[in-house]
Amino acid sequence: MMLKRKPIFIASIFTIAGLILGLIISSNFGFHSKGYSGEASISKEAIEILTKTNNAVAEVAEAVKPSVVNISSTKTIKEHGIPSPFFNDPFFRRFFGDDLFDKPREHKQSGLGSGVIVDKNGYILTNNHVIKDADEIKVKLSDKREFRGKVIGTDKKTDIAVVKIDAKDLPAIRFGDSDKLKVGETVLAIGNPFGLNLTVTTGIISATGRANVGIADYEDFIQTDAAINPGNSGGALVNVKGELVGINTAILSTSGGYQGIGFAIPSNMAKAVMDSLIKKGKVVRGWLGVNIQDLTPELVKQFNLKSEEGVLVADVVEDSPAEKAGIERGDVIVEFDGKEVKDARGLRNMVAGTTPDTEVKIKLIRNGSSKTVTVKISEVSGEIRAGSKDYENLLKGVSVQDLTPSIRKSLNVQKKIDGVVITDIEEDSPADGVLMRDDVIMEINRKKIKNVKDYESVVSKIKPEQNILLLLHRKGTTIYVTLTEK
């Protein structure tokens, strides 16, 4: 009996000691006899403010979530040969036959991403990399309905794509003005990270105007610390009004997961690209016709400038809008259409986002004096992407441009050489590894190429598996190269 009572006795001693200690603490620190519930340390006003904030964030999330969709894509991947070092042995090849190892094999690859409904009739904004090369696109709404998505248009240069589903009266999100975003402003990121539908995270605007990230050609990213993870791409970044201010695109991470730095394409840029894709089937960008560079302390001193803000005109293209307006080499552009020009990236984005045939005023500094000129922006001409559905051959994924005087000068191409210059080659292009950026294509299958029009005419007639012979001008020499089906 004593053995049974002893633990109870000991426990009773600790219980009494605990009560005494509690009384001592409460008398010293002024706690109520009710016990420490936290009521005395949090004011009523603070609780009301936080409750209102919580309710406001929840209300914004609830209003916006129906506009965010899940996008799943499937594409066919072709592989050549069997991935094993043993099958490169001549004995195995003689025994089994070369066809077994060299015959192309196909398999399906799936991907997950997000999208944002921007029109009640079924238009959806997402990232180009979410639906790139997809054979099939499925769109799942917040109400669990699923639709087959159709690609209306893509723009690799901004990583924007427009997808449409056959549906009506959808909950379209409102666009906000991304130009008015301020660092520190509260935002919500909504998407489907790792396939987890309609995940909401909160944060602030960490920075605006981020460039040189290496994601797209035209970069003007919003940086946020709202958690963005794989699968969030194409999702919505919204402000406290529930307005779309960005399309979540990428993260800066050493682990592959969230580390506090995410990037979103500004809604103003995304909307301009979307409108152009829907109305014209392509992205129409403005063109000024200047080669520009950022200012350095040395250049500021040489040109007798007051600051490093602005861009230096290194060259002016012949017969361009800039030349017609009187812009000269050595001018420093400090303002474009009423907006301050801080660097070359900023001016490039401003010009590209200007509708062709629009007249804008450009403020510049020439020989220490301020001057304003009026320029009529024209359309970027001569650039095509030979990776569209029209060119399903070995030149798929190759982008070219007319050989302009300024390009000739920068690449040191003689006047006697005609052709088109390669501006980009996609990683999955059959020409990747054979052709190079800045190659000048002079001939295709023994046919002379003088401009983009010639290029289009010849390439459009090449069959998917037809070998291609090209005459190139590369780094001062002329060479023949062939593209063959692997």
Indicate which residues carry an active-site annotation: 129, 159, 233
Neighbour tally for 410: CB within 10 Å: 14
- Cβ proximity of 113 and 127 under 8 Å: yes
Six token digits for residue 162: 């427009």
Neighbour tally for 194: CB within 10 Å: 11
In one-letter notation, the amino acid at residue 231 is: G
Neighbour tally for 300: CB within 10 Å: 17
CA–CA distance, 251 with 229 (Å, rounded to integer): 7
CA–CA distance, 447 with 469 (Å, rounded to integer): 10
DSSP 67: G
CA–CA distance, 466 with 219 (Å, rounded to integer): 37
Six token digits for residue 293: 């560079």
- Cβ proximity of 407 and 420 under 8 Å: no
Q: H/E/C letters for each residue in 313-367?
A: EEEECCCCHHHHHCCCCCCEEEEECCEECCCHHHHHHHHHCCCCCCEEEEEEEEC
CA–CA distance, 20 with 269 (Å, rounded to integer): 68
CA–CA distance, 35 with 23 (Å, rounded to integer): 10
In one-letter notation, the amino acid at residue 202 is: T
DSSP 415: T
Return the exposure string of 96-120: e unless at least 16 CB atoms fall within 10 Å of the residue's CB, then b.
eeeeeeeeeeeeeeebbbbbbbbee
Name the one residue in this structure whose structure tokens are 């394409």: 265
Give the residues across from 372 on adjacent strands: 363
Name the one residue in this structure whose structure tokens are 């290029």: 455
Residues 6+ apart with CB under 8 A from 10: none
Radius of gyration in angstroms for the set of CA atoms belonging to the chain, rounded to a whole number: 31
- Cβ proximity of 281 and 348 under 8 Å: no
Q: Which has the closest alpha carbon to 312: 287, 347, 359, 352?
A: 347
Q: Which has the closest alpha carbon to 468: 449, 482, 452?
A: 482
CA–CA distance, 325 with 368 (Å, rounded to integer): 19
Q: Which has the closest alpha carbon to 445: 486, 402, 401, 480?
A: 480
